[in-house]
Amino acid sequence: MKKNYLGVAALLFVGAVFGAVLVSGLGGVDSSYAQVKIGRETPPEITANPALMDFNNAFIQTAEKVTPSIVQITVVAKAKDNPLQGHEFFFPFRQDIPHETQGGGSGVIISDDGYILTNNHVVENATEVTVGLLDKRKFTAEVVGTDPLTDLAVIKIDAEDLPVAYLGDSDKLKVGEWVMAIGNPLALKSTVTAGIVSALGRNVNIIHDSYGVEDFIQTDAAINPGNSGGALVNLKGAVVGINSAIATNGLTGTYIGYGFAIPINIAKVVAEDLITYGKVKRGYIGVRIEEVDADLAKAMGLDKPAGVLIQQVMENGAAAKEDIKAGDIILEVDGVEMNKPNELQAYVAGKRAGDEITLEIYRNGDTIERSVTLKARDEDESASTKNSGIKKERKGDIEVVTFETIGLTVRDMKNKEYDEYNIDNGVLITKVKRFSKADNQKLFPGLVITEIDRKKVDSVSDLENVMEDKKGEAVLLKVIDNQGTSRFVGIEIPE
């Protein structure tokens, strides 16, 4: 029995010693829980390739520098087609069909005082344009001018000290060069994608006009709806193109491999004209042209397909004043080789009416030079669009005022309406434009505005006077419904 006691004691002693050693080895055990360590304590010993790190940093730095210059554009525009137009008798409720649509895209800030370059198709038929900056500020924009022939437009916001993008030289782009697309695709703000220049000088037939200029940069950087008007930039942070179109299967309308951008050299000339003149002062040679294929080259006596064939010299055009004839082949313009019609159109699109160019022409086996002073085309005008402000009318003794910049129509109230609303002052909202500022603030027909900036409103004239004084600022409205519920609404009044 004594031996058994001694054995148990020995086991207890050994266990205590072993436990002490174990605890000291683990640095102690927390009384509340056991500490679990995850991950390595030291980073893996990997030697980074300096050239690879520099390449990676080029993407990071480009995104950081350019993204603040890219804006998000939201547009309310007139619907292009109304299938019931002219059939009001048979469809008396046609007013329920939306006459306006809401869309958007991207833009590139090109001046610190608020000029922004974008696509024509982004702001086409716009009744309201709103610009959102990276710092979350929002501005109402004015359409300065548009150019459907290049699908470009310029808009303007009232702001200062904006981050301006650097506009590069698209003529120096090479196939295979890395580029990044920056914009707001699918309403995802400030998205950056990367790829290479897949091809240059693409004509994809999206501008349905014989005078349209298509000389797109093709890229496999992902471009989707909403990217339109955004920037295509190289790894030096220079904008080399304005994203404009995508290749799609027609079912989803989204990216399936390739996007297309307008060369920035064309965009710069268009933007300068729109800002200076409100329209493009583009020059034309005045010829109808066609590509030279292998059979045509052989028939004309050329060793290989080259140049652009003149099919017709337009009457009263610039070429008609010089010794230029149908059947001539333009090989070069100002020393630059021309092998496709869109290459010639793109080069001339970078010139203005009055500029002189030199053509190298192949004619009957000989090469000759001719100088042409470019001439404007009468139809080539792009007017700027401005909001008309306040519209007044009178229906009997009742005055009606429409504040077009915020999409709100009000009228003076009738005596019986004061009793119905149990009020003694105010003006009645009779119409709110869809997608307008008033609509965004949840104003609707049937509400009564009783105060503006905490002052009583007795007539539409009272409201109009304050609205005029507060252009570029915000006003506080007090409204009431026919149930007697009132609320305050803030709304910005564009200048």
In whole angstroms, what is the distance from residue 435 CA to residue 408 CA? 11
- Which residues pair with residue 392 across a beta bridge? 401
Cβ-Cβ contacts under 8 Å for 230 (sequence gap 6 or more): 70, 105, 106, 107, 108, 181, 182, 183, 184, 242, 243
- How many Å apart are CA 236 and CA 168, to the nearest integer? 9
DSSP string, 252-318: S-S-SS-EEEEEHHHHHHHHHHHHHHSS--BEE--EEEEE--HHHHHHHT-SS--SEEEEEEPTTST
Tokens of 74: 């939201």
Q: Please say if 366 is a catalytic residue.
A: no
d(CA 38, CA 415) in angstroms, rounded, equals 77
Strand partners, 145: 154
Those residues whose C-beta lies under 8 Å from the C-beta of residue 289, and which sit 6 or more positions away, are: 308, 309, 310, 311, 330, 341, 344
Q: Return phi, psi of residue 354, to 5°.
A: 100, -20
Q: Which of 228, 244, 382, 436 is catalytic?
A: 228
Q: Is 121 a catalytic residue?
A: yes
Task: With CA atoms as reference, report the closest residue to 339 among 217, 215, 240, 173.
Answer: 215
Q: Active site residue: 69, 121, 382, 462, which one?
A: 121
- Integer Cα distance of 54 and 133 in angstroms: 29
Catalytic one of 69, 106, 147, 151? 151
Phi-psi region of 120 (alpha: psi -120 to 50; beta: other; left: phi over 0): alpha
220 classed as catalytic: no
Please check whether residue 119 is in contact with residue 230, taking contact to mean a CB–CB distance below 8 angstroms.
no
Task: Catalogue the active-site residues.
Answer: 121, 151, 228
